[in-house]
Amino acid sequence: MKHNIVTFTSITVFALSGIIFWETGFAWLVFVAIVVAYLAITAYGSFKIQSNYFFKSINQGRKKAISLTFDDGPDPDTTPRILEALREKNVKAAFFVIGKKAAKYPELLRQIESEGHIIGNHTYSHSYFLGFFPGTKLKHDIEKCSEAILSAIGKSPVFFRPPFGVTNPIYAKVLKELRLHSIGWSLRSLDTRATNKYQIINKIIARLKTRDIVLLHDNLRVTADSVEDVIEHCLQKGIKIIPLSQLIEKEAYE
């Protein structure tokens, strides 16, 4: 992937620079510049899932429609409100659940699935330090989330979304071993920063385009407040909202 290309290019440039600049007295400045540039590019690739820096993520759809996706649930207060809004508007969404919450509220997962929505893996712990987990520990964390989902709905998910959109080479190896599809997004609602529903609605409507995968969070009250209006605005603009599996043309479960 891009990371391998950047690494190979950086090493090559580093070696050539040593040959070219060694006798000029500027070699160390050039070396530092190369290292800084390499670290900056790698950091950008780690935190920008759309860059597909370490591995390929699905960041937008194939059809002229959009999909709504929700992270960080299920939540006993806000998820049911969002499900009600989706049901009233006859819209199907995708929920990337945290495993420890799924294990605590399996009835919510069964409700999500029974109402025709997709459930994806968002790791078990959702730890801030997941990006530093060794491969064995990361694999166990992801597998544990899939097990919680399987226990609740009898299906094993294929869609996975890395917490915070952070990626690295360890994720690449683990996801390949587990045969999971990494799902990113093309439109971030920024609902985690919103103080009222209008900020979310305006953010989405102003930038929405067909094939978008929209990122929301079903553990936030402000998001629950906004969902019905977001859907209504989409319908008024003639934008279809379809299930994620249809938008990206991939099956959601094994």
217 carries an active-site annotation: yes
Of 5-9, 39-43, 87-91, 129-133, which gets the smallest average pLDDT?
5-9
Query: One of 72, 122, 217, 218 is an active-site residue; which one?
Result: 217
Per-residue pLDDT reduced to its tens digit, 16-33: 777 777 667 677 687 788
User: Mean pLDDT in the chain?
Assistant: 93
Of 5-9, 50-54, 109-113, which gets the smallest average pLDDT?
5-9
Per-residue pLDDT at 137 exceeds 90? yes
Q: What is the structure's pLDDT at 31? A: 75
140 carries an active-site annotation: no
Of 22-26, 39-43, 64-68, 99-103, which gets the smallest average pLDDT?
22-26
Which of the two residues, 249 and 43, has the higher pLDDT score?
A: 249
Of 30-44, 79-93, 206-220, which gets the smallest average pLDDT?
30-44
Per-residue pLDDT at 37 exceeds 90? no
Q: What is the structure's pLDDT at 9? A: 82
List C-alpha distances in Å: 153 to 71, 116, 117, 180, 252: 18, 12, 12, 18, 13
Q: What is the structure's pLDDT at 210? A: 96
Rounded Cα–Cα distance for residues 175 and 159 (Å): 10
Task: Map out the domains of the chain with their CATH numbers.
Answer: 2-47 (no CATH), 67-248 (3.20.20.370)
Per-residue pLDDT at 1 exceeds 80? no
Q: State both tokens at 49.
A: 């899932």
Query: One of 71, 72, 75, 225 is an active-site residue; which one?
Result: 71
Given CA atoms 173, 175, 179, 185 in this order, what sign does their dihedral have?
A: negative
Of 49-58, 73-82, 135-144, 147-156, which gets the smallest average pLDDT?
49-58
The separation between the first and the last C-alpha atoms of the chain, rounded to the nearest angstrom, is 26
Q: How many CA atoms lie within 13 A of 93 on its CB side?
A: 29
Q: What is the structure's pLDDT at 8? A: 67
Residue whose tokens read 């990361």: 138
Per-residue pLDDT at 34 exceeds 90? no
Per-residue pLDDT at 14 exceeds 70? no
